[in-house]
Amino acid sequence: MVEIERKFLVISESFIGESFAQKRIVQAYLSSVPERTVRIRIKGDKGFITIKGKSNNSGTTRLEWEKEISLQEAESLLSICESGIIDKIRYEVKVGNHVFEVDVFSGENEGLIIAEIELQSEHEIFEKPLWLGKEVTNDERFYNSFLSKKPFKTW
């Protein structure tokens, strides 16, 4: 139930040709306080509820619990979420022994592209593709819960 991930800005859309899967994701928050975010997500034709705890000092590690729920439940719960919907296309790209999840945001966050990689430990070594830019792991502005309140277009 612990998530270890790092986030990076993406400097080129060349990853699209390297991706092996893509899905649209729509999500919003029942609670966006940093100590416990509660997210409702529709990914493709599936619904999910996710609870995340506060990140550690480096921003790489936090408690995460996720459960699949029905699409109908997710749609109902989205209707009572805090304002600020996140809408994005997620591309999955295999690089070396890892898979990067690259989110291309639309709507109020259009123009933002973020890549995330989940790791087994904070100091795990991984291959960095040429399209990977600056690391933003510990920059809360790039958390989806922040983007739902202060969209990228308003920066």
Cα separation, 119 vs 124, in Å, equals 7
User: Binning pLDDT at 50, 70 and 90, where does residue 78 land?
Assistant: very high
What is the distance of C-alpha 86 from the center of its chain? Answer: 10
Residue 59 pLDDT > 90, yes or no?
no
What range defines the domain where residue 36 resides? Answer: 2-154
Cα separation, 104 vs 89, in Å, equals 5
Give the sign of the dihedral formed by CA 70, CA 114, CA 85, CA 144: positive
Q: pTM of the predicted model, to two decimals?
A: 0.94
- pLDDT per position as a tens digit, 95-150: 999 999 999 999 999 999 999 999 999 999 999 999 999 999 999 999 999 999 99
CATH number for the domain including 46?
Answer: 2.40.320.10
Structural domains counted in the chain: 1
Sequence-distant (6+) residues with CB within 8 A of 110 are 152, 153
Angle at 19 between CA 128 and CA 105, to 5 degrees: 85
Active site residues: 29
